Structure 1
Amino acid sequence: MSDALSYRPKPGEIPTTPGVYRFRDDTGRVLYVGKAKNLRARLANYFAPLTSLHERTRRMVTAASSVEWTVVGTEVEALQLEWTWINEFDPPFNVQFKDDKSYPYLAVTLADEAPRALVTRTEGIKGARYFGPYPKVWAVYETIELMLKAFPIRTCNNANYKRAMQSGKPCFASQIGRCFGPCSQKVSIEEHRARVEQFVSFMGSQDRKLINRLTVEMKEAAGEQKYELAGKRRDQVMALTAILEKSAVVLRDTVDIDLFAIEQDELAAAVQLFHVRGGRIRGVRGWMVDKELDVSTGELIDSIMQTAYTGSAVPPREIIVPELPDNAEALELWLAETADRKVRLVAAQRGEKAALLATATQNAKQALLLYKTRRSSDFVARSKALEDIQEALGMPAAPLRMECYDVSHLSGTNIVASMVVFEDGLPRKDDYRRFSIPESTDDTDSIYRTLMRRLAYLAPAGETSIPRETTSGEAPAEEIEQKRKKFRYSPNLLIVDGGQPQVAAAARALADSGVTGIQLCGIAKRLEEIWLPDSDYPVILPRNSDALFVIQRIRDEAHRFAITHQRARRKRDISSILGEIPGLGPARVKVLLQHFGSVARLKAATEESISEVRGIGPQLAGTIHRHLRA
């Protein structure tokens, strides 16, 4: 299989030094850019037998017609060159960053003769010091409003400032008390710059020492009966205190870090960046990453670092990440060059930083869920997705009704299956169904049994009787009949969670039930491949396609629905086992489970250890021990 790659270089031709490589197609377009500490070892991974490669990697190497490399001196140089080429060539197989909004910043134009504070979404203003990003623009204006009470600096634009300085007449903002730059004739350029430096210093550190100093000055002025000065200091203290109170205190006052959280699936990742300065969250930024190749979390972090700290963004001394990439040392050196100081990457495992990372990760999970939901809610996108599914699977019409099945169990026990329904690309939750499977040999057998029960409603008249077990509990006859009417709706597309074995089992169920006219496919979670019956090769939908997104979402919904039911059954079973023991009520059952953690551990416990549990005496402990062993 590897002989199919005719452009493969001979092993001796590839150097063993650090470098950057590019895969090109037959038109010369760059498909992928990567870096390596050892080019020969890294490229050897791409030229392994095709059957051993990840599916998306296989697509890349077979689409390419040549590979070239450039040798560099160090890993840091490789990192820099890789990022330069990614920006220059925009390779389709490299991770793609998607940020659907620009974030507002508070910027101070330190390069100006009389620096000013402004709200901007433009990064890279020469000589400017940035603070943020802020989640909302009103938060920036509110911060400026409070800061100007403590440090009145210029806010007018350059045109108004130049006109005022030339005419000697203060600008309009200065006339109404909104700007206190040199054009107001109240301060010199040197005095104004001193105020600006105080402004920047406090925004950068948010140190309470300044508030304490101003408080002392306020009291001294009041003692000397300089009440006007004391009033000014009082207003400054109140403004700065309000700034601090509006920032959530999460860490010690001396902590300045950037914290990255990542939540990902096979095709996309949500990134949350928390800027913590002086122990407070000063800015939050989030964006999405589309993945073409199968990249590890470490490789993803590598790319995210390069994106986050390009332009005006300066990394702090410490950066918290979910895990360290393989080239962490080289990445630290590159970040140190960007920041002009030492930068350390840390994977927080415990403590307050790990707790903050967990909070950021929850935000990333919500962002990924919201991203999927918004894509699914677009009618035009859904319609296009269904048309793409129709074309990819060779269906005669778009799959307006899709059913997806998943099986869940705990070590072969408590086997349940789920059926979820999507109509017009959206979930139809009133048509969802759960199946309890008394016994099964494996997942394929469970799929077969589940579909035989479901397809009985669609079988030709007189061939298969409708099983009673598809409904649970006692319900009025009219309600049962109504449920059965819904259950008779035939899907256009039947999806199972799994690869070739699961699809083969589903196909056998379709054949044995006599039902025709339904398209069948399976989705393999690890590679997101679409498998059809009797096919040796999967259907690969484009990474960013809404078609794959819809299939992925219905698969995830089936998995969620199945595992929720399975856990509920397991909980009921545990409670029923212990509830059968005389003298053991709900309160004591709860105490026992909290103490031992599970029924399995309780079964393995001795009478003596059971009797040590609060509220359980020796006699009751003996009864519990005998009952569970029996």
Structure 2
Amino acid sequence: MDAEALRRKLADLPVRPGVYYHLDKGGRIIYVGKAANLRARVRHYFQAASSTDRKTSKLRERIADVRWTLTDDPLQALFLEGEMIKRYQPKYNVLQRNTRSDDWHYVQCNLKAPNPYLTVTRNVDVGEDLLTLGPYLDGRALRKALRYLRRDFPYSTHKVLPRKACLDYHLGLCPGPETAGFDLAAAKVDLRRLLACLSGRRSQLVGRLRSAMKTQAAAQRYEAAAKLRNQIAALEDFARSNIFTDSGQKPYLGQDQALADLQSLFGLAAEPRRIETYDISHISGRYTAASMVVAEDGLIRPALSRRFKSPLAGNDDFGQIRAVMKRRFTSKSLREIRPDLILIDGGKGQVSSVLQVLDGLDLEIPVIGLAKKREQVIFRAGRLNLDADQLRRLGGSAEDSPAFTTLNLNPNTPLLKLLQRLRDASHRSALAYHNYLQGRDQVASGLLGIEGIGEKTYRKLIKRFGSLAGLRTAEEAELAAVLNRRQLAALKAYLAGRNSG
């Protein structure tokens, strides 16, 4: 794009929130940023040299094109920005690109606990009842958003209840699950509304709240109507703020390079809009966990992803994969959903195991593997239509064998970076669930070995306190609500023994 065309494009920048992308002459994305006002923010890069720093000046010299994705409000840009940085690894996003995985922030919520809570964390807990949103790159903006919303959508942060009403309860920021007047149903409603906002569904939420407010007012329940009015006002004010939050937006960059390359390289009928990535984690066949990470349009969708506990015993990776794939494609809730591409963490044996199940179910779904050792892409010969010209354009080469084709790709291609990101996410998910299963088993074996504590009492303890850490920090009166005197004494002796050991 010549200078005049770029100037005209800058003149057309909207005064809207969104995410912007700077591209170089080769069409590569070299910087990704977010903005509450795209016109003001992007034009900043093209100010006089004296008004910009050296880094910005060097970046500006490389910019040949600018593209952007509009969002409904400034709240929806943070998550999209982080996803795009992780996907494209732009050269000039130095800070974000080098950010470690444990520097990303997540929101975790448990609506099924007796005292529903919400927390912000870097270390994701694993549990069937936990809902996770994220990752978010800007933890400060995330916490600022939650502080603002909490005034009208109060929530608890207590995994274990305090003995007395907390300060947040007295400030109107917490529904007070530790108090006698706690309204569990109302607390869940407020928490679900907050999660809807954080999930990028603010506009739909405002519409539902307006309808509910009219219903309450018509029934002369004016206090309830006033609360809904305040929540609507908070969401509308929040939308005009410079606080960023999660988004369900699907980015459109003309044609996403990684997905377009996947389509052309393997001769797919269309770009793989839905990619499912699988991995298995275990220790010598014990605590076997599997993960299914779902990406839509290249973006990981935690709400669609799944974890599986393998029903098979023994150290048989291929058998575990076959069991997981059969469960995935025969499940009532999932069998009608077909991915456009399956990515498996592994090589020839793993790919063969997946294809064996798909062939048995008469399903034709493209399958590729990504082997960690040399980061090679592997697929069954004859199952995909490899485009040799596209492979050369990507700087790759192929190694053929009678049954499989192995691709060596340029490590800097968006295609390989996307596959690596999905593979790594699936590996982390499977490992986290494996660690959870192992820890749960160790807790169970320990507690069930205590005199007087059987399966029923064990379940009550875990449901209320969650873990050994929760039991250790619980007050004696809380434990006494579940245990009799003899059980309580035995539990205290057990915990004291573990602490001294």
- TM-score scaled by length of structure 1: 0.31
Larger RCO of the pair (alpha carbons < 8 Å, separation 6+): 2
Which protein is bigger by CA-based radius of gyration?
1
- TM-score scaled by length of structure 2: 0.39
